[in-house]
């Protein structure tokens, strides 16, 4: 089975004044369809940089990145934006919900750029809210939701366009342990029952243990360690 994510000799360098800082060095990585991978490493190790490269939010300094059958390092800005909308669902630590919109309207936002009719959009939104276990809060605004509920809405928004890949940057970093475990169980269920491929960045070993593989970043390279089933 061919990889859904493939990185070949990928390096990422930033310029800080006169100093060049290399965050990733000729990194190789393959992720199979339906995998659930946790990325771990100390602060500043490049975890979020790697996630942003996989999600098409950033470009490598050198090397090749193929995700969902496309060489995304070669795509123009407009083509890359269209590719992200089709293939990537983003889940961030702080939810990034629009405060004046209901949960359902927040989830609908990615669909407003599609050709779906209003009725079709509503069907997709209802299905995503149901999958995320938050359908009963569809009319609530973010201020009326707990942190765990808000993150479920954010996950529903990431799912609504049926993306190829979910990329999650510290999705439980702002939650208490109980809410965090519930979100991680949801991600694990989406992986197992829906076959969603998930890449999760986390500092939390307990969070990483929900994944099927744990990858540790060390000096710009990845070292794999076996994950324990949650």
> Tens of pLDDT along the chain (230 residues)?
588 999 999 999 988 888 888 889 899 999 999 999 999 987 778 888 999 999 999 999 999 999 999 999 999 888 998 899 889 999 988 888 999 999 999 999 988 878 888 999 999 999 999 989 989 999 999 999 999 999 999 999 999 988 999 999 998 888 889 989 999 999 999 999 889 999 999 988 999 999 998 999 887 787 755 444 44
Domains, the chain, ordered by start: 33-51+87-226 (3.40.50.300)
**Count of Cβ atoms closer than 10 Å to residue 98 Cβ:** 11
Q: Where do we find the tokens 């950033």?
A: 58
Sign of CA dihedral 152, 158, 161, 163: negative
The C-alpha atoms of residue 53 and residue 31 are separated, in whole angstroms, by 14
Residue pair 128/160 in contact (Cβ under 8 Å)? The answer is yes
* Residue 138 DSSP label: T
**Count of Cβ atoms closer than 10 Å to residue 5 Cβ:** 22
Give the Cα-Cα-Cα angle 122, 124, 125 (nearest 5 degrees). 65
């Amino acid at each position: 089975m061919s990889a859904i994510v493939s990185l070949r000799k990928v390096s990422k360098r930033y310029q800080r004044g006169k100093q060049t800082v290399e965050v990733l060095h000729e990194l190789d990585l393959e992720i199979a369809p339906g995998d659930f991978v946790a990325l771990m490493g100390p602060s500043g190790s490049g975890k979020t940089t790697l996630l942003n490269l996989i999600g098409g939010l950033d470009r490598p300094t050198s090397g090749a990145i193929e995700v969902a059958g496309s060489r995304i390092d070669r795509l123009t800005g407009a083509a890359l934006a269209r590719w992200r909308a089709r293939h990537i669902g983003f889940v961030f630590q702080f939810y990034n919900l629009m405060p004046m919109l209901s949960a359902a309207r927040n989830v609908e936002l990615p669909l407003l750029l599609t050709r779906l009719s209003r009725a079709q959009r509503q069907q997709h939104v209802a299905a995503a809210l149901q999958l995320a276990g938050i359908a009963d809060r569809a009319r609530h605004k973010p201020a009326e939701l707990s942190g765990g509920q808000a993150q479920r809405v954010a996950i529903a928004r990431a799912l609504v366009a049926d993306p190829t890949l979910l990329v999650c940057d510290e999705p439980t970093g702002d939650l208490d342990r109980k809410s965090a475990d519930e979100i991680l169980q949801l991600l694990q269920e989406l992986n197992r029952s829906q076959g969603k491929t998930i890449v999760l960045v986390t500092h939390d070993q307990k969070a990483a243990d929900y994944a099927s593989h744990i990858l540790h970043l060390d000096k710009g390279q990845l070292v794999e360690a076996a994950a324990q089933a949650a």
